[in-house]
Amino acid sequence: MASGPMSVRGFRLLLAGQLSSTVGDYCYAVALPWLILSGDGGPVLLGTVLACYGIPRVVTIPLGGVVADRIGGQRVMLIADLVRAVAVGILAVVAFTGTPTLAQLAPIAVVLGACSGVFIPASYTLLPALLTKEDLGQGNALSTMVNQVGGLLGPTVGGALVAGFGAGPALTVDAASFLVSAVVLARIRTGAGPADEAARAQDGPVGQDGGADEADGTGDAGKNTARKPSFVELLRHGRLLHVVLVVALVCNLAFNGTIEVALPELAHQGMGAAGYGVLLTCLSLGGLAGSVLAARSRPVDSPAYLFAALAVVMGVALGAVPYAGGLVGAAVCVCVYSMASGWQNIVVVTMLQVWAPSALIGRVMSLVMLAVMGTFPISVAVAGFGVRHLGAAPFFPVAGAAIALAVLGALTQKAFRNHRSGTEYVPQAPAPAPAPVTARAPADLPAPDVPAVRSTHPRQDNSQESQR
């Protein structure tokens, strides 16, 4: 009999829906450019349509987190999939009838981008509702593996459909994949209801890090409280979230530009288009290998140190890409980098899903996704400038050092360094009410009925220094 995440029927259904949706997404990714470039619009129209998709996607990520926390991530995902099925279905009809114009493509792209934006943070709320904390890390790894397998199969399926039948059938497959995902989501039962939330609140947040700072918002079972924190409070006092957001910003600033600008430039100089394709394939295979390692590894008590060790591997591997002896060495370095990165992503996502209060996971993950995706335009612009002045090869060790140093710097923060697996956010206790002020006797008279006693201490105050 299956154990762990695969023993949960809802999780198995979720994996099936993810695979279908991911394959469909890649069919769309192949069909849309082919459809546009086959007409008169060319690259300008393609870039405009992609902008119409990308901007709403980023803008609606915070909205997706808020709505998911209010009405439930599963419901948000279901609605987003249904709307996307209709939008892509309309696009498929347009593709069958002729060459689409910007007036037809732009509204569809905006709808698809907005739905994708609200879907992303909502998707991170479903696994914590399906799985126990102990199974959450393996569940995230398996879920990522399914997406990566879909990423390997999808372009092949999409390319074959477009080559053999045109863009219309490939878009139809994508629309159908959203319907399959929606049906699967409708059949999932999380079992999370008001009674479960009440029981969790009554039990109190469970932590294993008795030495954590109160400013971190984590603690042990001795600090149990039934008070539910607000998102504003979490932003103010959740030191772990602050550290993760800074690391995400720095790492993605370094990574995106390196992969999107420096890597193709390096390949263009001496590896050719085929070599670049090999590097991208290794990037995907490495991510899949990282997910497999994460799924098979045992949970660690101190995820921060595993996170930091993987960051060092990432930095060294990325920095060595141009100096590894040609295509084979570069491919190995890219694969090692991607493997460590894939494992690291699962570690940090699981950490935040356990740490964040269940009613705030959507908003927490929306912030992290903003840090990941919002840095893309800045990163590629900086990389373009850096590669132009430094060259492609020197850019890699600079980016690798930035990634490694950012995470090693996070270890200097106690909230990150002392975090333990299973630790949840604990709201700060409210400040004690001030003691009532009593009437004071005149300074030259002793208090009534109390003998005047002279202090033997030359000075008294309440500072920490005087109480040592």
Average pLDDT on 367-392 reads 82
Please check whether residue 465 lies inside any domain of the structure: no
Same structural domain, 169 and 220: no
CA 467 to chain centre: 45
Please check whether residue 156 lies inside any domain of the structure: yes
Q: Which residues contact residue 214 at a Cβ distance below 8 angstroms, ignoring those fewer than 6 apart? A: 428
In this structure, are residues 275 and 267 in contact, taking their beta carbons and an 8 Å threshold? yes
Length of the chain: 468
Its domain, for residue 40, covers 7-192
Please check whether residue 70 lies inside any domain of the structure: yes
Same structural domain, 221 and 358: yes
Please check whether residue 255 lies inside any domain of the structure: yes
What is the pLDDT, as a whole number, of residue 431? 55
Please check whether residue 426 lies inside any domain of the structure: no
Same structural domain, 227 and 324: yes
Average pLDDT on 140-154 reads 87
Please check whether residue 464 lies inside any domain of the structure: no
- % of the chain surpassing 90 pLDDT: 23
Least confident span in 119-133, 197-211, 246-260, 415-429: 197-211
Please check whether residue 107 lies inside any domain of the structure: yes
Give the residues across from 218 on adjacent strands: 425
Average pLDDT on 3-19 reads 88
Closest-CA residue to 347 (of 405, 297, 385, 412): 297
Concatenating the DSSP letter of every residue in 32-47 gives HHHHHHTSS-HHHHHH
What is the pLDDT, as a whole number, of residue 212? 41
Same structural domain, 220 and 140: no
What is the pLDDT, as a whole number, of residue 254? 86
Same structural domain, 13 and 69: yes
Mean pLDDT across the chain? 80
Same structural domain, 176 and 239: no
Average pLDDT on 229-247 reads 88
In this structure, are residues 144 and 291 in contact, taking their beta carbons and an 8 Å threshold? yes
Chain segment 313-355, per-residue pLDDT in tens: 999 999 999 998 888 999 999 999 999 999 988 998 888 888 8
Residue with tokens 């696009």: 91
The SS3 of residue 425 is: strand
- % of the chain surpassing 70 pLDDT: 82
Same structural domain, 167 and 43: yes
Burial 113-134 (b: 16+ CB within 10 A, else e): bbbbbbbbbbbbbbbbbbbebe
Please check whether residue 184 lies inside any domain of the structure: yes
The SS3 of residue 100 is: coil
Chain segment 401-460, per-residue pLDDT in tens: 998 899 888 988 888 888 888 888 877 666 555 655 554 444 443 444 433 333 333 333
Average pLDDT on 220-236 reads 67
Same structural domain, 171 and 283: no
Give, as one character, the DSSP assignment of residue 300. Answer: P
Cβ neighbour number for residue 445 with a 10 Å cutoff:
8
Same structural domain, 18 and 69: yes
Closest-CA residue to 398 (of 272, 223, 253): 253
What is the pLDDT, as a whole number, of residue 337? 93
Q: What is the pTM of this model?
A: 0.74
Q: Which residues contact residue 311 at a Cβ distance below 8 angstroms, ignoring those fewer than 6 apart? A: 251, 340, 344, 403, 404, 406, 407, 408
In this structure, are residues 434 and 349 in contact, taking their beta carbons and an 8 Å threshold? no
* Burial class for 429, CB neighbours closer than 10 Å (0-12, 13-18, 19+): exposed
Same structural domain, 183 and 219: no
What is the pLDDT, as a whole number, of residue 417? 87
Whether the CA torsion 325, 328, 331, 336 is positive or negative: it is: negative
The SS3 of residue 371 is: helix
- Residue 308 has φ and ψ, to the nearest 5°, of -70, -40
Q: What is the tally of structural domains in the chain?
A: 2
Last residue of a domain, one of 192, 225, 251: 192
331: left (phi over 0), alpha (psi -120 to 50) or beta: alpha
Same structural domain, 284 and 411: yes
Does pLDDT of 385 surpass 90? Answer: no
What is the pLDDT, as a whole number, of residue 451? 39
Average pLDDT on 238-253 reads 89
CA 53 to chain centre: 20
Least confident span in 116-125, 138-147, 261-270, 410-419: 261-270
What is the pLDDT, as a whole number, of residue 299? 79
Q: What is the dihedral of CA 360, 193, 72, 126, to 10 degrees?
A: 80
CATH of the domain at 154: 1.20.1250.20
Average pLDDT on 374-392 reads 81
Does pLDDT of 177 surpass 90? Answer: yes
Chain segment 75-118, per-residue pLDDT in tens: 999 999 999 999 999 999 999 988 788 889 999 999 999 999 99
Same structural domain, 178 and 142: yes
Last residue of a domain, one of 397, 417, 437: 417
Chain segment 182-214, per-residue pLDDT in tens: 999 999 987 543 334 434 444 443 333 433 444
What is the pLDDT, as a whole number, of residue 112? 94
Chain segment 351-379, per-residue pLDDT in tens: 888 888 888 889 999 888 888 887 777 88
Last residue of a domain, one of 396, 417, 438: 417
Give, as one character, the DSSP assignment of residue 218. Answer: B
